[in-house]
Amino acid sequence: MALRAVREVRVLLCKGEASAGAKQFIVDKYAEIKKAHPLLPFLVREASGAAPTLTARFAHGVEKVVPLSGLSSADVAKKLSELGSASP
């Protein structure tokens, strides 16, 4: 997963079923991503009532936010990959 242009990744989760795929993605892929990109800040936060989102921060503070509600783990991986290959 190429994340060279990304300066920071934030995953916001809720406590409900809407975040099930995102939570599974974290369990399955977090260690792999950190091994491939050890200097990349990859933050995971859980908040009651929050909509699950994936935020990628690029140079000059540009951020892109993707909703994750109801997505599977594979869908979350695809969204992160798309953000990683996108230009800000």
Domains defined along the chain, listed by start:
8-85 (3.40.30.10)
Q: What value does the mean pLDDT take over residues 37-49?
A: 95
Which segments of the chain are extended strands (E)?
8-13, 42-46, 53-57, 63-67
Residue 64 has which token pair? 């892109």
CA–CA gap between residue 43 and residue 8 (Å, rounded): 8
Residue 70: the pLDDT is 96
What pTM does this model have? 0.90
Of residues 71 and 49, the one with the higher pLDDT is 71
Q: How confident is the model at residue 3 (pLDDT cuts 50, 70, 90)?
A: confident
| Residue-level pLDDT at 85 | 83
Q: Report, as an integer, the average pLDDT of 13-41.
A: 95
